[in-house]
Structures are given as C-alpha cells and as structure tokens.
Structure 1
Amino acid sequence: MARTRTLLTAGAFALVTALLPTITTVGAAAADRDGPGPVAVSESRGQLTVTVPPGHGGPGYRLLIDEKTLGVRTVRAGRTVLATNPAGGFAFGDQHATSVTTWSYAAGTLRIAAASTAPADTVAVAITPTADRYDLTWSVAGAPAGARTVSYQLSSAGHWYGGGETSEGAAQPYPLDAGQVSEPDFSPASYLMMEPYWYTSSSVGNYVRTASPMDVQINKSASGLGDFTIKSTDSYASTVFVESTPSAVYQDYVEVVGKPSKSDATPAEIAQPLWNSWAQFYTAIDQNKVLDWAGKLHAAGLGGHTIQLDDKWESNYGNLTFDPKTFPNPKAMSDQIHSMGYHFGLWTTLWINLDSANYAYAKDHGYLLAAAADSTKPCTVTWWNGTAGIIDLGKPAARDWYTGNLHQLMSTYGVDGFKFDTRFFDDSCAPAAGVQAGDYQRLGAEMADGFDLQGAGVRVHWGNQKYGFVIRAVDAGTSFPELRTTLRRSMAISTDGYPFVETDMIGGSLGEPAPTKQVLVRWAQAASLMPLMYSSTSPLGVVDHTTGKPVTYDPETVQLYKNAIARHGRLSDYLQAQARKSVADGTPIIRPVFFDFAADQRFYTTDDEWMLGPSVLAAPVLSDSPTRTIDLPAGAWFDTVTHRVITGPRTLSAYPAPLGVTPAFVRLGAPGAATAIAALSHQS
C-alpha cells in the first residue's frame, strides 16, 4: 500500500507527530531485486525512515530523511555510512532544498516534494531502494535548466577514492579527502581518465549517472564536503551502492557499467615492455636517433615488444605523413626496427592543426566537429601543440577518411599499430546530427578497437570499460613524489573498472629533468609489479631535455632495469591468469590492499602497497631510502626477498631494501601463489 502526507502548518504538524509518533508504510514485495523482504517506510517526529532488509545480494540499510532540511543519512548496521550536507544537500545555483512538503511511497519508490530557499521553486526527489543500493534522482520545478549538486559530508563515509585522475601536474591526494580535489571541467570530453564514480572506506559508492560535464569539488578550501555537480541539466540521477566491503561496492558498480569483454593487451604486450620515444627525445627526434636508441636497447638485451615513435614524426600535426627532413626513409627505418624483432608503432591524434595541409581538406569535406556557438564553422581548440580542428567521428565519412590514412601508413611503411593520444570531443564543439556529445567516447573506442594499440592503449573512459583497453596514467614528472602520484592515478583508473593499467612511462616525463638513477630504477621495479610496463627513458642514457646535456647511467642501472623487466616477464603467466579473471568477472588486477583485507584499517591510507591479483602484495620502495616500513595483512606470507614465511597481521619496520631489492610477498594458499613464488623468489 502507499500513503501520501501533505505538510501541515508548523504547529499543527508538531502536534500531529507528537500524538501519532509513527505512521508506517510497507511496499508489497517491494523493489528489492535481490532479497525477499519488503521495504518499509515510516515517519516519526520530523523524520522519514526507509528500512531496507538484508537480501541475497546486500547487507540491508536504513535511510533517515530529515523533513526540516531534506538531509539524507544512510545507516548500515547502526552506523552512518553516508550523509548529505546538513546545510544544503540538494543545491541548484545559489539555492537549495529545505523542508519536506509532501511524500508518498508506491511501487518501490519514495517520492518527496520539498520547498527551497527560492520561494517559487519546488524540489522533487525520488528514491528507489533495493538490498544493496538505491537510485536517487531529483529535479527542480519552476527553475530554469542549470547546475544541480548533491553535497555530502566527507567524514560521514570515512575515506574517499575513485573518480579517476586528478589534473596533470597536481599531486593526486590519497585518499582523496586527505587533500583537495578541484575538477570544474570533469567531463566525458576530458583528456584525463575520469569516471563519475567514487567509493569510500565505509563501503558505499556514489555513481552519478550522467553524460553531461560535471564540476567535482572534494574538500574545497578544507570544507569537509564533497560537491558533485552536473552542469547544464534540469535533473540529477545517481546510484548509491551500500555494501559491507569496498570490493563488493566495486562489483556492484561493474555490474552496472560492464566489465571488459576482452584484454586488448596481447600476451607479449603483458610480458615485455613497450618502448615509446617520448621521454627519451620529446620532439627533438629524427630517424638516426630512433635507430640508434632502438639498436642500443636491443644490443643491451633490454627486451621489449615494440618501438613506438611518439610526437613530431609528422610533417605537421594532422598531415599523417612523415616529415621528410627528419625521416627521409621511414620504410627503411621500419624494416630495421622489424629486423631487431620489434613491432613498429606511431603516435597519432584526431587533432588537425590549422596550418596543416589536411586541415583545409577536412574542412572542405565537412570532416571536422562544428563549433557549438556557430554550427556553420569548424570547432577550433587549443592544445599543447597549437590550434586545431577535431575529426568528427560522428560522421562515418570523416571516420573512414581518418582511418584510411592510418591504414595507408600501415601498408606503405610497415606500421604495426598506434598510440592514440587524443580527445574525441571538446565541450566547445557541437556533436554531429543524431549524435550526443556523450557518444564520442564510444565512437572513439570503436574506432581505436580496429587497431593494435601496442600496450600504450587509448585514453577512453566514461563508461567504456567493456573494450578492455590498456590505459596509461597521464604524464607525470621525474621525481619520487611524481612516482607516487602516477601510482595513485593508476590505482584510481584500475578501481574505476579499467584493469589493464600502467603508470606513465618509467622514469616519468612532463618535460622535467631526466630522472636520477634511483628514480629510474625504483620506477622500473614498481612497474614490474603492475599489469604492464611502459618504458621510454633508456637506462643506457638520455639527453636531459631541460639542459640539452647527455645523462649517462652506470652499468648497475642497466642491470637493475633488466632485472625488473625479467621479474615482470617471469610473472607473465600469473598476470595473464589475472587478465582472464578480469574478463570473466571484472576483478581489478591491481587494487588497494583493503579490497582483499577490508577489516584491516591500516590500509585505507596506504598508497605504497597494493595487491597484484589475489596472491601478491607489492611493496616496492618509492623513495631513495634503503629501508621502508611494510604492513602485512592477516595470513601466511612468503617473503620473496628473505624466503621466510611471516604470519600477519604484522608491521615490518626498517625493512632492508637497498637499490637492488624489490620487496614483494606472496599469500600462501591464494590462487596462483605457487606461480608467483616461482616468479618472484629471486631478485635478478
């Protein structure tokens, strides 16, 4: 049955609630998709209570809704696990919802009308609860289209994670609430890997169901609030997952957005590093330099499956032709690279600079995205290499022309694949007829899926987990703090549903000074304990981009880098088993230790250890110190350095880890433990 309640005057309402402390409404066999128990809705002393019993798929919880403020508090097992901002949890512009005026519960949905600080505007909220989540939607009647915000008290949910990468050049907090995150252009069109999904140490998840740009502010000005704003919309839709562990929240989320249908990385791309030219040369590149670099890598036995030529091979950005001044014989270069046993790859984008010969051709044929302000003109955007138009993948003819150029490079020069380093849309542009702005991530994924991405992957996000692409973290600098930042970004990407993740290229990039020996080696060691290795700076030597002077690393650097590559190669069988599991059920290959050991509170703020599959706890050194502190969870752990078995939980203080040592522990009895022990039981 259902009941509707209309707000009385303040005095009358207080009298009624005093005389009738509880009015209960029960939804018949309600909307609990996973359990048999009905949802109950009750009202008492200015509070609505939604009680969701445990079901086969969830722990059950209660929603406590303050009728004076429209505050929503989620309670599981007697503990608050998420609460909206009591000063205005549902905001639009400078206004916010206030007191509840009416409510009803029918067909599994609680519908609430509320007043607001804008007298003419009424807020409508709909909450549909099930055993392990509730859908929350709200809109404003009478207000024009505009931004809609749900604001949460961060501390109510413990620590916060997810959301993808924070801005390039910024130190990504871990957890997110430990610092401040300001992403006013959190968008499907972003170059950063972003997903509108966050999860917490209290085992709740916040998935904002939108294809519109957002403004995300976490702890802005140390406010203690998480403000999640959808821009330019008249409604807000989200799903809040309520579980007993963070890993269960993740599985709920993957159930909604989808798991990878395949691993885009081949076994060779998992087992061996990719060598990309960017940090080795940046744009000061030519044919002789590439061949010298590749030849020396090969002669030193550093391995690798691909030599990939990055930025500045083109005659101009968007021409998709080699610059004859710096690459006079690209076919001969390709042949020589192939003769060493490597594949050959190229960097490419959808961006065509205005001074490129292809720009006029693409403009004349209508192949470019139109400007949102004037659809008769091409959209013009500024990027790190100039001013450009963007190929409109919403037009099949434009897509075919672009991919035709790529296939021509493959057939003419023996190019085996591509690193797509691009955005597929810009929010200043207009989508093609019949296409939504949010569709361009899918269109980009479909286009890229036709090519070998060579372990460099593609930056595609916002609900495109199913393609199983390798995802690389955005550019990071060349210091130890930047190594920690790129690992934090990789973890965020992985737990957003993209398991085939890698850091920025080993040693870093971002136009900073060449990495020190210690940074280069420690980065390689950390990357050896990840799904893939992405290399550029040669341990044999590099020219410092900032000074123009050569930097030569010593023979120990080369050997330790080779040891890291060998360690990763020995882990290949274990990693490929994890890749198969990711395809089977979406499980992230790298994940926070608390995914596997949720009860151990130490790991909710630990960013220098992670689980690699179910068996391996990675604890590499991420500083220039010869020792580190290592926390071990419960269980029996094989120390791959000392070959001892250690019983946890335990903290190992001042664990000896000189430059040649990479601490890692294998959980005895876990799936794949024997394979991992064989792979990791020696450091060379």
Structure 2
Amino acid sequence: MKIIFLILLFIGNIFSLVAQEKVISLTKDEKWFGGVVNEAHLMPFKEGYDFDLYGNTGTNQAVSLLVSTKGRFIWSEEPFRFTVRNNQLIVSNRGEAVVIDSSGKNLREAYLNASKRFFPSKGKLPDTLLFTSPQYNTWIELIYNQKQKDIITYAKAIIANGFPPGVIMIDDNWADYYGRFDFRADRFNDAAGMIDTLHQMGFKVMLWISPFISPDTEVFRELQSKKYLLYDGVDKKTWSEAEKIAIINWWNGYSAVMDFTNPEAEKWFHDRLEYMVKTYHLDGFKLDAGDADFYPKDAISFKPATPNEHSRLWGEFGKYYALNEYRAMWKMGGEPLVQRLRDKKHSWEDLQKLIPHITVAGLLGYQFTCPDMIGGGEYGSFIGRDNLDENLVVRSAACSALMPMMQFSVAPWRILSEANLASVKKMVAVREKYVPYIMELAKSSAVSGEPIVRTMEYEFPNQGMAEIQDQFMLGKRYMMAPVVTKDHKRKIQFPKGVWRSDEGKIIKGPKIIEENVQLDRLPVFELVR
C-alpha cells in the first residue's frame, strides 16, 4: 500500500507541475488591471477576456501581476494564463506558486503591497536627461539609412528650430550586420568624431542594439563555436549534445539569438557594449527586441529557462548603463530601467491608447516609462503628406508633454505648418515649466515605487473613475485632460476637491464639465485643496 501511495503521490506532483487553476470570485464593483501593458486599453478586464503570459509579453512590458480596485493582487514569479468568466477571475499556470493577497483596500494599496513584497524599488534613477529634455530618435527621419552626415544634420535641425538638445538615439542599421559591434565604414567615416560633435552640441547619445546575431557571419561562427547561442530544441537533446542553432524570425528576417543563461555569453556581450562605449564615446543603449515571443518555447539553453526568463535576462544589461531604453520587458519592476510604449500607428485610435498603456505600466512597476514617438512610430505614415494629420501630431505632443518623458522621431519642422509647429514647441515649453515637479516625482518613485503618472482610480478610489482612459494624474497634484480625438470638445470628470485650471478657473468637484480645447492647449488642473 505504501508503494502504491508513493506512486500516486508522485503522479499527483507531476500533474501539479503541469497545470494548476485558481478561481477568484469577483466582489461587487471590483475591477482588475495588469499583466500586459499593450492590452491596457481593454482594462479594467471585461467578461470573456483571456491572456496567456507564457512566451508572450504582448510586444511591450509584462509581468504576472494583477491588481484590483478592492485592494487585492495576484502575483507569480512565473507566467500564468488568466481569464474573466462568470464573475470570476481564473488563473491557470504550470504548477508555480501563485500568491493572492487581500490585505489592501483599494488599487493604490494593492499595487504598493505587491511592489514592496516582490519588486521593491532600488532607489536608483536612470539618466535624468531623459526626464528633463525631450528625446530624439533618428528612426522616422532616416529609417534604415542611418548615416553620419544625416545624423548630424538632424541634430543641427533640432537646435535650429528652437528645440532643446537632449538624448539622441541612433537607430537600426549602423553596423554591417547584427552581432558586429563597429560602425559600418561606408556610412560612418568617423563615428567617434560624430558622437563628440553631438556631445559638443549638448546631446547625449544612445545606440540601438538587439540580442540577435546574423547567421553565416564571422561573429556567428565564433559564437557557435563557444556555444553562446540558443539551440533548436526539436531533437530534445541536452545542451552539451545540442548542435543545431535556433534561427528565429523577427521583423528584420532570420537570426540566431544570444543565450544569456550562459554567464560567459553574457560577459561576451557586455564586453562588446563596453568596447562600443570606450571606442566611440557612447553614453548608453536603446536595447530593442528581447520580446519573450521571439524565444522558441522548446529552445535549449545553457540553463533551462522559459521564453519569459530569456526576455528578463535581456533586461539585465540596462542596469549597466544609466542611459537605457527598452520596448519589451518581463518582470523587471522597480529597476532603474527606462521603458517605452510600443510603436503606435499614426491614428486617433492609437493615440487614445497612450494614457491607459502608460498608467498600467506604472501599475506593473515600470514607473520610468516613455510614451511612443510623438505622432506615432510607423514611418510609412510620414512619407509624403497623403495620410498625415497635423492635428494628430500636435495632440500627440500635448498628450506626451507631462508624461515622465517625451520623445520625438519625425521632425515636426518637416511635416507641420508654421502654426502647428509653434503649437508643438509650446508643448515643450509647458513641459519645461513642470520639469522640477516631474523630477521630484521621479526621485520619490525611485524610493517608494509609486507610479509617476497614475490612473484616476489610483488617486481617487471609489469615486467611479476606474473606467476613465483619457485623463491621468501626474503625482497627487496635477490632473491632465488632453484631447485625444478629432473633436476639439471633451468632457472632463473632476473628483472631489477644489481644482484650479491652467486658465485660472476654479472648479469644485465632484463635477463633469465640457470644454472646447484649442489645438495649442493642454488642459492641466491643479488640486488646491
């Protein structure tokens, strides 16, 4: 009987590692957020919502954390699937521990309880220039034609058109191939001199990199011989036996991918970054890709790891450099890492996603988050003027102006009328006015973990604000109500308290008002008591 019992126990343990399911009954008016930043416009979650985090970070930031307006949170160190069905939240995983905590009373307490317990802030800030000045990315203007002459021309135009210098990001295709850590000679005759010139103009310089390695290259063969790349797991071999390199398909074709579970591979890659810093005088890196989606679920690595863990390990490199930026991330809340919302389309629909996406990023511990490039990150929209909506670009600048950071890529002076360019520059000036408060919040957030930008529900619980997606709080003091539709009119919902508008009006909440918002205005309301 004892042997039979042990066999049954063994089988039960195996089953528990395969799948577990927890069912959480939703309380009256309880609403849930979290999991995936790029799904935030669908939050709070509605009946029928379903998402599996395993091998899927939703093309942006993600973590196995859900938070509730009634103070509850759900956490796991490993990815889980969650479904809303029949007034229940159903969490399914592969046997890992799932924590359900009900000690809070509202959304803020749910988040802070989870943060302090599982991803406490490290007390460190990214480079403060990312907050104090706009950022400029060369992607839209140069696309894959990154050249020394054109980068300098772009930088000069920034200053000539009355924009302040800040961080400039040199985007993809600066090297001969992926894995080659040198500027290509046919486009950069003096890369170090170029970066020195940018420094003299007041810029700091970041360089785009990824964890991919182009096959059939000198670097690929070196890394293959050292076993620094992920292997194809189709043959189910061990790491020591594996021979076939995994070739993955990403937006630029087919590549091998680094295996950062191997400490020697991690050191090799870090050494290459340090070489770039010392040789070319770079200040930091834009660490792109690294999505869990790009790592094969059956890949063989030096140490066993989920696709999500491979993504997290890519995030570790940013901690070497105060000047960093990521577009995809897994379970790195509380770290001094800069996140950017994924590329948005040049459309009003995608502009409306900025506020829910960036506020949910804060609820997942990614407080140092930049909205997408102003006007959108899809370069095709800015070739010619047929599909260009100048009002959309101005409203996008206004929406970004008082978020933790703002980033330009398309040159506003190239695509906008004189009047609309003046409106965008006005948004930059508005930001400059609030930079001291933004920095105060950033420094506080680095210690407390509290989001810099917050949902209305976070600051004003139980006032019917959980569904608001076009307003947000900058700390406790300022409420933003940017226009994110073609219509210049918008409704603004005020919580309890006395508010002073940017135009000097006093509004006593709770109240809903309708305002006609001119194109060159960002409605800001200060909570005065």
**Common fold, TM-score beyond 0.5?**
yes
Any conservation in 1 of the 2:132–2:435 contact (CA below 8 Å)? yes
Shift, 1:436, TM fit: 7.5
**Equivalent residue for 2:317?**
447
Any conservation in 1 of the 2:327–2:342 contact (CA below 8 Å)? no
In structure 2, C-alpha distance between the alignment counterparts of 1:438 and 1:656, rounded to whole Å = 45
Identify which of 271, 284, 287 aligns with 1:404. Answer: 271
The answer on 1:352 being equivalent to 2:213 is yes
The answer on 1:492 being equivalent to 2:360 is yes
Identify which of 30, 38, 49 aligns with 1:158. Answer: 30
In structure 1, C-alpha distance between the alignment counterparts of 2:327 and 2:342, rounded to whole Å = 11
- Which moved further from structure 2: 394-403 or 589-598? 394-403
Any conservation in 2 of the 1:319–1:356 contact (CA below 8 Å)? no
Any conservation in 1 of the 2:55–2:307 contact (CA below 8 Å)? no
Shift, 1:181, TM fit: 4.4
- Which moved further from structure 2: 322-331 or 379-388? 322-331
Identify which of 663, 676, 684 aligns with 2:523. Answer: 663
Assess, with a 3 A threshold, how the Cα gap between structure 1 residues 121 and 491 changes in structure 2: closer, same or farther. farther
**Equivalent residue for 1:43?**
none
TM-score (norm 1): 0.69
In structure 2, C-alpha distance between the alignment counterparts of 1:666 and 1:567, rounded to whole Å = 14
More helix by share: 2
SS in 1 for 2:412: coil
**Equivalent residue for 2:80?**
214
Any conservation in 1 of the 2:152–2:194 contact (CA below 8 Å)? yes
The CA deviation string for residues 163-218 of structure 1, in whole angstroms up to 9 with x for no partner, is 12236xxx83132327x6443354487753111111233332222x232x433444
In structure 1, C-alpha distance between the alignment counterparts of 2:504 and 2:391, rounded to whole Å = 25
The answer on 1:591 being equivalent to 2:460 is no
In structure 1, C-alpha distance between the alignment counterparts of 2:56 and 2:124, rounded to whole Å = 23
Q: Counterpart amino acid of 1:164?
A: V
In structure 2, C-alpha distance between the alignment counterparts of 1:166 and 1:647, rounded to whole Å = 34
The answer on 1:431 being equivalent to 2:298 is no
In structure 2, C-alpha distance between the alignment counterparts of 1:175 and 1:633, rounded to whole Å = 19
**Superposition map of 1:13-24 within 5 A:** none
**Equivalent residue for 2:345?**
477
The answer on 1:632 being equivalent to 2:502 is no
The answer on 1:465 being equivalent to 2:333 is yes
In structure 1, C-alpha distance between the alignment counterparts of 2:437 and 2:135, rounded to whole Å = 19
Any conservation in 2 of the 1:140–1:235 contact (CA below 8 Å)? no
Assess, with a 3 A threshold, how the Cα gap between structure 1 residues 310 and 331 changes in structure 2: closer, same or farther. same
In structure 1, C-alpha distance between the alignment counterparts of 2:82 and 2:443, rounded to whole Å = 34
Shift, 1:121, TM fit: 9.1
In structure 1, C-alpha distance between the alignment counterparts of 2:112 and 2:510, rounded to whole Å = 26
The CA deviation string for residues 466-490 of structure 1, in whole angstroms up to 9 with x for no partner, is 3221211112111111012233221
Identify which of 493, 502, 516 aligns with 2:370. Answer: 502
In structure 1, C-alpha distance between the alignment counterparts of 2:393 and 2:265, rounded to whole Å = 42
Shift, 1:325, TM fit: 2.8
In structure 1, C-alpha distance between the alignment counterparts of 2:14 and 2:55, rounded to whole Å = 27
SS in 1 for 2:197: helix
Q: Counterpart amino acid of 2:350?
A: E
Identify which of 142, 147, 158 aligns with 1:297. Answer: 158
The answer on 1:568 being equivalent to 2:428 is no
Q: Counterpart amino acid of 2:227?
A: G
**Superposition map of 1:284-433 within 5 A:** 284-372=145-233, 373-374=236-237, 375=239, 376-377=242-243, 378-423=245-290, 426=295, 427-433=297-303
Any conservation in 1 of the 2:56–2:291 contact (CA below 8 Å)? no
The CA deviation string for residues 264-305 of structure 1, in whole angstroms up to 9 with x for no partner, is 333322111110112333224333332222211111121131
Assess, with a 3 A threshold, how the Cα gap between structure 1 residues 150 and 327 changes in structure 2: closer, same or farther. same
**Equivalent residue for 1:254?**
115
**Equivalent residue for 1:174?**
43
In structure 2, C-alpha distance between the alignment counterparts of 1:530 and 1:304, rounded to whole Å = 18
Any conservation in 2 of the 1:254–1:586 contact (CA below 8 Å)? yes
Q: Counterpart amino acid of 1:400?
A: K
**Equivalent residue for 2:395?**
522
SS in 2 for 1:166: helix
More strand by share: 1
Shift, 1:440, TM fit: 4.2
In structure 2, C-alpha distance between the alignment counterparts of 1:428 and 1:555, rounded to whole Å = 55
**Equivalent residue for 2:385?**
none
Cα RMSD between the aligned structures? 2.7
Shift, 1:533, TM fit: 1.1
Any conservation in 2 of the 1:393–1:443 contact (CA below 8 Å)? yes
Shift, 1:356, TM fit: 3.8
In structure 2, C-alpha distance between the alignment counterparts of 1:259 and 1:174, rounded to whole Å = 24
Assess, with a 3 A threshold, how the Cα gap between structure 1 residues 478 and 472 changes in structure 2: closer, same or farther. same
In structure 1, C-alpha distance between the alignment counterparts of 2:65 and 2:307, rounded to whole Å = 19
Any conservation in 1 of the 2:334–2:449 contact (CA below 8 Å)? no
Q: Counterpart amino acid of 2:41?
A: Q
Higher relative contact order (CA 8 A, sep 6+): 2
The CA deviation string for residues 526-555 of structure 1, in whole angstroms up to 9 with x for no partner, is 1111111122111112xxxxxxxxxx3111
The structure number with the bigger radius of gyration is 1
SS in 2 for 1:252: helix
Any conservation in 2 of the 1:477–1:508 contact (CA below 8 Å)? yes
Shift, 1:309, TM fit: 0.7
Q: Counterpart amino acid of 1:592?
A: T
Shift, 1:347, TM fit: 0.3
In structure 2, C-alpha distance between the alignment counterparts of 1:418 and 1:584, rounded to whole Å = 24
Superposed structure 1 runs of 4+ greater than 6 Å apart: 434-438
Assess, with a 3 A threshold, how the Cα gap between structure 1 residues 421 and 218 changes in structure 2: closer, same or farther. farther
Shift, 1:424, TM fit: 7.4
In structure 2, C-alpha distance between the alignment counterparts of 1:352 and 1:190, rounded to whole Å = 23
Gaps of 5+ in 1: 1-119, 123-138, 542-551, 670-684
In structure 1, C-alpha distance between the alignment counterparts of 2:28 and 2:527, rounded to whole Å = 33
Gaps of 5+ in 2: 1-6, 383-387
Shift, 1:450, TM fit: 1.0
Q: Counterpart amino acid of 2:74?
A: N
- Which moved further from structure 2: 238-247 or 297-306? 238-247
Q: Counterpart amino acid of 2:38?
A: T
SS in 1 for 2:439: helix
SS in 2 for 1:465: coil
Any conservation in 1 of the 2:108–2:459 contact (CA below 8 Å)? yes
Any conservation in 2 of the 1:477–1:512 contact (CA below 8 Å)? no
Any conservation in 1 of the 2:499–2:528 contact (CA below 8 Å)? yes
Any conservation in 2 of the 1:638–1:665 contact (CA below 8 Å)? yes
Any conservation in 2 of the 1:259–1:582 contact (CA below 8 Å)? no
Assess, with a 3 A threshold, how the Cα gap between structure 1 residues 284 and 152 changes in structure 2: closer, same or farther. farther
Shift, 1:607, TM fit: 0.3
Assess, with a 3 A threshold, how the Cα gap between structure 1 residues 368 and 189 changes in structure 2: closer, same or farther. farther
Assess, with a 3 A threshold, how the Cα gap between structure 1 residues 475 and 155 changes in structure 2: closer, same or farther. farther
Number of residues paired by the alignment? Answer: 508
**Equivalent residue for 1:539?**
412
Any conservation in 1 of the 2:169–2:206 contact (CA below 8 Å)? yes
Identify which of 256, 281, 285 aligns with 2:142. Answer: 281
**Equivalent residue for 1:14?**
none
Q: Counterpart amino acid of 1:531?
A: P
The answer on 1:147 being equivalent to 2:14 is no
Assess, with a 3 A threshold, how the Cα gap between structure 1 residues 539 and 216 changes in structure 2: closer, same or farther. same
Assess, with a 3 A threshold, how the Cα gap between structure 1 residues 174 and 258 changes in structure 2: closer, same or farther. closer
SS in 1 for 2:343: coil
Identify which of 472, 479, 493 aligns with 1:610. Answer: 472
